[in-house]
Amino acid sequence: MPLTRKAYRAAILHSIADPAEVGIEASYEYFEDGLLVVDNGQISALGHASELLASLPADIEITHYPDALITPGFIDTHIHLPQTGMVGAYGEQLLDWLNTYTFPCESQFADQAHAEEVAEIFIKELLRNGTTTALVFGSVHPQSVNAFFAAAEKLDLRMIAGKVMMDRNAPDYLTDTAESSYLESKALIERWHGKGRLHYAVTPRFAPTSTPEQLTLAGQLLGEYPDLYMQTHISENVQEVEWVKELFPERKGYLDVYDHYQLLGERSVFAHGVHLCDDECARLAQTGSAVAFCPTSNLFLGSGLFNLPMAEKHKLNVGLGTDVGGGTSFSLLQTLNEAYKVMQLQGARLSPFKSLYLATLGGARALRLEERIGTLQPGTDADFLVLDYNATPLLSYRLKQSKSIAETLFVLMTLGDDRTVAQTYAAGNLVHQR
């Protein structure tokens, strides 16, 4: 294959470490006039344009973005494909919201054509918002995952998804069995896991909707295929936490249910974690598990405020999740806008560089993919975004007052949304142009 080499010139910013561990100044690299060089879908060079231009061949194609910022692609560590059609549903907290809106919406995914239509809409929406990797819940139907992976494969996206396992405490039209969930998951793993840039996640919805038998088989799948992911929900809502205690009285608490069935590990991601205690955070960190922080959802469903400082104290990996349709936007910029407010309500500050970390490198670390995505380091996949400083009249005017990259970044995260993403690249290919 001939070498395809392209270069992109703009202001360039990426996280290189967690600000909570190294301090803000050592956590990022910023090039006011930077150059990103891409060879065959991978980043081959990054630096100041003045230093790199001389080393490039005279005929290389250089795309210049004078009023824009290039960042790594965003990483969404918790989102539901089948809830796209009921995002922004009124008036309920978690358990009533599931029964009133979510389960009926998910039932439509028994139809292959419907699954394919929504998968296309969903992926377009991710890319429009600059999300190049997501950890995705399908529905209970294998066709939801087949449709999603087929659409992602066409664009060579790095995506992770799984069929929901749910054999109790849900409508009859939406339950599987312990055995069928195991066999259907296994078939999907064999078909998709490791194909291109796709990965499979074993997906018990949450402890209340799985019998001990189903949770046992979920753990068994993880043992059979050592590099699988596992995704589920934990401690999102106070009523839910109490319900888990009633269903599993023999366990010490919510996390202990998952721990008992061997579902904790380096590729296990637990969504929400709003009501985790210190001991549970310590145990998650000890096992290398991660939590997906979903601020828009936690506020919209009245679930509570995630304690990021407690997670940091335990060095627990934390990614960011939109949780559509519990959350109300596919935009990780808008999700960071809400994350800032969640911290403010707890008397804590969320620096724009920590926010950038959560949306990129932090998400990659939560998914154990930091060698491939989440930064613009040479050798990683060329998944990156072009954020337009003039996306809206207000953003344009406000950024003209900005005196630093910190201020610019924070304004992008408070005033920015899908309109701010001018272009999205995945594996070096342009996959969205506004």
Per-residue pLDDT tens digits for 169-227: 998 999 999 999 999 999 999 999 999 999 999 999 999 999 999 999 999 999 999 89
Residue 421, domain member (yes or no) = yes
113 in the same domain as 205: yes
180 in the same domain as 133: yes
124 in the same domain as 55: no
Contacts of 103 (CB under 8 A, 6+ apart): 170, 171, 174
Per-residue pLDDT tens digits for 191-203: 999 999 999 999 9
pLDDT of residue 58: 85
Amino acid found at 6: K
Domain end, chosen from 304, 330, 356, is at: 330
User: What is the per-residue DSSP string for 214-275?
Assistant: HHHHHHHHHHHSTT-EEEEEES-SHHHHHHHHHH-TTSSSHHHHHHHTT--STTEEEEE-TT
86 in the same domain as 60: no
158 in the same domain as 281: yes
Q: Using alpha carbons only, give the angle 409, 413, 415 rounded to the nearest 5 degrees.
A: 110
Per-residue pLDDT tens digits for 106-145: 888 888 999 999 999 999 999 999 999 999 999 999 999 9
CB 65 within 8 A of CB 430: no
382 in the same domain as 261: no
- Residue-range definition of the domain harbouring residue 31: 5-73+375-433
pLDDT of residue 99: 80
Per-residue pLDDT tens digits for 298-315: 999 999 999 999 999 999
Domain end, chosen from 273, 299, 330, is at: 330
Q: Which two tokens stand for residue 229?
A: 């992911």
Q: Which two tokens stand for residue 415?
A: 């005033």
Residue 364, domain member (yes or no) = no
Residue 67, domain member (yes or no) = yes
**Residue 386: is its pLDDT beyond 60?**
yes
Residue 367, domain member (yes or no) = no
**Residue 91: is its pLDDT beyond 80?**
no
385 in the same domain as 271: no
The CATH number linked to 285 is 3.20.20.140
196 in the same domain as 294: yes
89 in the same domain as 57: no
Tokens 């001018």 belong to 422
Domain end, chosen from 295, 315, 330, is at: 330
pLDDT of residue 3: 63
- The SS3 assignment for 302 reads coil
Q: Which contiguous run of DSSP H or E holds residue 166? A: none
33 vs 90: CA distance, rounded Å = 46
pLDDT bucket at 88, cuts 50 / 70 / 90: confident
The CATH number linked to 48 is 2.30.40.10
Residue 342, domain member (yes or no) = no
pLDDT bucket at 87, cuts 50 / 70 / 90: confident
Question: pTM for the full model?
Answer: 0.96
Residue 86, domain member (yes or no) = yes
320 vs 343: CA distance, rounded Å = 14
305 in the same domain as 266: yes
Q: Which of 431, 365, 366, 373 is nearest to 43 (CA)?
A: 373
Find the mean pLDDT for residues 43-49: 97
Residue 336, domain member (yes or no) = no
Per-residue pLDDT tens digits for 243-252: 999 999 999 9
207 in the same domain as 104: yes
30 in the same domain as 84: no
Residue 84, domain member (yes or no) = yes
* Domain tally, the chain: 2
